[in-house]
Structure formats: C-alpha cells, structure tokens
Structure 1
C-alpha cells in the first residue's frame, strides 16, 4: 500500500489563501502527473526546449483552493461537490489537482476514488480537456483507510509551495 500526505500551503507569497497539496510515498502528486504526461506533452510541445517542457510539466497543476473545497473529508473520500467532478467527467471523477493559473477547473487532474472499509484507492487518472490522452499511466494508488483518514483530518501546514521547499523538483 502507498502512503498519502495531505498538505496545505499558500497559493503565493503575497496571499493568505491556502491550497491543498498531496504527496504519495513522499512525492508531490504534481511530480507523478508530470511523469505520467511527459510523453503526451512532448508530442504537443515540439517547439520548446527540454527545460521549458520540464517547467511546463511541473507547473501544469497546482493544489485545490482550501476555501473552495468546503468539506475536504467528503471531497477526498470520493463524494465531491458537483463543481469538482470535472467537465462531463461523470459522478465518479474527483478533481485532486487544479490549474496553476488559480482557476482549478481550467486544467484539473481527475481520478476515481473508491472506498472500502479497509482501503481508499485512487485510479483512472485523466485530464478532461485531453480526452485523446485517455487514462494516464498513474496508479492505482491504494491507501490504508485509517491512515488516509488520519492524514486528511490533520494536514501538514507548509510555509510555501512543496515543490519549491523540496528543492529537488523546483520549477
């Protein structure tokens, strides 16, 4: 089973608005998304340099705004408010990352969250605005439900973007 960490961090240096961040096995979910979409973006982003592509990959997503995810427990347990289910993605799709522009719905990362008494599973990751990409090569990620719920109820508060604080994957 994987280990999940829920985080909150400031949207930017000048803002008091917080975003939800997620790490799976110690790696930011945006890094997992970057790895899963690298070859797909490479086909579309032929004019850019390799370093520009890497920056695009790491900055294509950001966390979801805390103030918009009114009930995080419900949301991250697969029962999001209707606005977080994605454009025509169906009721089983939950946004777990948003767009880096600040409007989460412009470029969300969606997943199917399946709950059992023992586990929480994230699978079938997709980008609703690139239907031709199909299901992304991410996961499935299976978490022990008690540890998942404990992490969700006590997110770690960071002083900055986890990618920048990590330094290893800074955009």
Structure 2
C-alpha cells in the first residue's frame, strides 16, 4: 500500500493585490513549487547554462505560482479532477494545479492527473505541457486521504502573503 501524504491547501494574495487570492499547496509541509523546482532542476540546467547559482535557484522557485481563485471557478470539482473544459489538457486529461508566475495560468502550468476513489485523492503524472520532451516529472505520486483532502479544500488556510516570497527575495 502506498503511504499517504498530508496536504495543506492555502489561499494567499496574488502579489500586492490583497483583494485577489490564489490557491497554493504544501505536501508534507513543503510548498508544491519547491517540489516542482526539485523535479525540474536538472532539466532546466540544460537550458540555463550561464546562470549564476543564486539566479538559477530564484528562477526555479518562481517558475510557478498559484491559480487565482477567480480563474478556477468551482474549486471542489477542479481539484477533485473534474475541472472546467478550458483547464483540461486533452492529451493527458491532466488538470493544472499551479500556474505561471506571470499571472496567466496557461503560460506555464504544472499539470497533474487527479484520480479519486471513495478513500483517496491521488496526484500523479506531473507534466509541463510546453516541454513535452521532459516527459513525466519526478514528482509523486502523492496520495491523500480523501476526507482530509476535502476538508482542506473546503476550508483552506488563509495566509497574509505568499509563503515563499518576502519583499525582494524568495524563501523556502
């Protein structure tokens, strides 16, 4: 049997726009964007040959951001693997769980297949649709107890700021 992970579902402001919130996630206490950075580090190195280590690390941690609450619509359906048609990747039936740091989710999404049973929610087969040559990323699968997942989804933790960013720097 696969070990269950713990998910924290977050809502926090988009940049300085305190009126507009986005979805974020921590898996076993680690921000999903950190997991994505780790999974893409070696893949990006082939393209970022001349970057300084600090610049590369900043890039890796800021390549993704959350999805705006206003974009997602029915968040329960979306994050249970039944998103609105405009969010479904037709080639993999994957759902975006992170968007681009530019603010347009479709510019650089992190996609995953979300599968549900009566007992679990599983995120697997993470992909970056604009780097098909990368294939499936070395992330997950993450298996969550469905009742805890649904509780976290319907009552997300509200944060005053992006948990990875403080003015002028990115933190872990």
The TM-score by the shorter chain falls in which range?
over 0.9
Q: Distance in 1 between matches of 2:95 and 2:33?
A: 16
Report if aligned partners of 1:69, 1:75 keep a CA contact under 8 Å in 2. Answer: yes
1:13 Cα offset (Å): 1.7
What residue in structure 2 maps to residue 78 of structure 1?
A: 81
Cα displacement (A) at 1:82: 1.4
Q: Is 2:20 aligned against 1:17?
A: yes
Equivalent residue number for residue 54 of structure 1: 57
**1:21 counterpart SS class:** strand
What 5-or-longer segments of structure 1 have no aligned partner? none
Equivalent residue runs for 1:127-146 within 5 Å: 127-146=128-147
The counterpart of 1:89, out of the listed 75, 91, 95, is 91
C-alpha offsets along residues 48-103 of structure 1, whole Å, 9 cap, x if unaligned?
111111011000000001001110000000001112124x434x200000000000
Alignment partner, residue 34 of structure 1: 37
Question: So what's the TM-score if we normalise by structure 1?
Answer: 0.93
Q: Does 1:65 align with 2:59?
A: no
Shift of 1:15: 4.2
What is residue 154 of structure 2 aligned with on the other side? Answer: 153
Q: CA RMSD in A?
A: 1.5
Distance 2:61 2:10 in 1: 17
Q: What is the TM-score when the length of structure 2 is the normalising length? A: 0.93
Shift in Å at residue 31 of structure 1?
0.3
